Structure 1
Amino acid sequence: MKAIYDTGRIILRAFEDTDAEAAKKFWGDEEVMRYCLGATPHDKLPLILKAYRECHEAKGLSVYAVVEKETETVMGACGFNVSGEIQEVELIYHFAKSSWGKGYATEAAKACLEIARGNSGVKRIHASVDPNNLDSYKILEKIGFVYAGKEWFEDTAQEESVYEMRLG
């Protein structure tokens, strides 16, 4: 397991094919994904893991597996959706229910910000939040994101709050 970032308590690393089973506990779980268009079908998870791994290899940024060091368990995902160039990326995070309320999402998001700061191409990071996802609002504000307004999202068919952080 090659760590991309190590906080002492968690490791962020590129996804591996063997992570598909663990991903069912976050991306494949209806409750975890209730603010994000619902659970991902389990048969699609290997393709998603591969796409994120290839994104990291090609662009140096991606969404990463979040591994609890003590147990070596993949408990979530955190990182950047990169569409096109890396000047602007979207921060996302999803965690298995068993890891909620322990500060892992905040810790992983902070680690991702450090990864982005190490990449001179990233100028702006944004995140959108479902109006009912109060925990996500708290995480973004805690790590220094600034409210940038509301925006309509066709995929979720609703207006969501957008937060941002400018790096350059």
Structure 2
Amino acid sequence: MHILDTERLSLREFTPLDAPFLLRLVNEPGWIRNINDPGVRSVEDALTWAEGRLFKAYRELGHGFWALERREDGVLVGMCGLFKRPALPEPDLGYALLAEHEGRGYALEAARACVAHAKAAFGWPVLMAITAVDNTPSVALLAKLGFVEQGLEQLEGYEGPSRVFKLDL
């Protein structure tokens, strides 16, 4: 299902056909370093991961992490979206790109659109975000969006502490 468009990107729900892309994305060194290693090593693993992490959220929450496609050619470059994790008091913004598409402003463009969507479509008053402690590019992106750092927290599912951010919408 289509969610929204930006100048260069189209955001849509992932489908089972995206499993090969998801396998690649969650095994990127940046994903493993800054998010976690979900142990996804095959297309079948990617489908199982997507069911629990993506498709279930679409059905139960009406939002989640969405596929980022370049509008010009339909190439998948990453994911961005809104998710409610049990460890945080408010929904949060998350994003990840294949390394080959980093540095082109796609994450900022998609994140801006998701922040606007959180307010316009869901009426949320607050968004949160988390990063790895040393993920300087994500910290800079969140600052551009107006997020304010709240401190470090040890969140379930992460090996070390995470930097936690908040944005009043």
Q: Structure 1 unaligned runs (5+)?
A: none
CA offset at residue 14 of structure 1? 0.5
Secondary structure, aligned partner of 1:66: strand
CA gap 1:55/1:153 in 2 versus in 1, 3 angstroms: closer
Instruction: Give the percent of matched residue pairs that are identical in Structure 1 and Structure 2.
Output: 26
Structure 2 residue aligned with 1:151, among 150, 153, 163? 153
CA offset at residue 54 of structure 1? 3.7
Q: Aligned equivalents of 2:83 and 2:114: distance in 1?
A: 12
Structure 1 residues 1-168: aligned runs within 5 Å:
2-38=1-37, 40-42=39-41, 43-51=44-52, 52-83=54-85, 88-167=90-169
For normalisation by structure 2, the TM-score amounts to 0.85
Structure with greater proportional helix content? 2
Which one is further off, 52-61 or 64-73? 52-61
Count the aligned residue pairs: 165
Q: Aligned equivalents of 1:153 and 1:83: distance in 2?
A: 10
Letter in 2 for 1:81: F
Secondary structure, aligned partner of 2:112: helix
For normalisation by structure 1, the TM-score amounts to 0.86
Letter in 2 for 1:146: V
CA offset at residue 121 of structure 1? 5.0
Q: Structure 2 unaligned runs (5+)?
A: none
CA offset at residue 24 of structure 1? 2.4
| Aligned CA-pair RMSD | 2.2
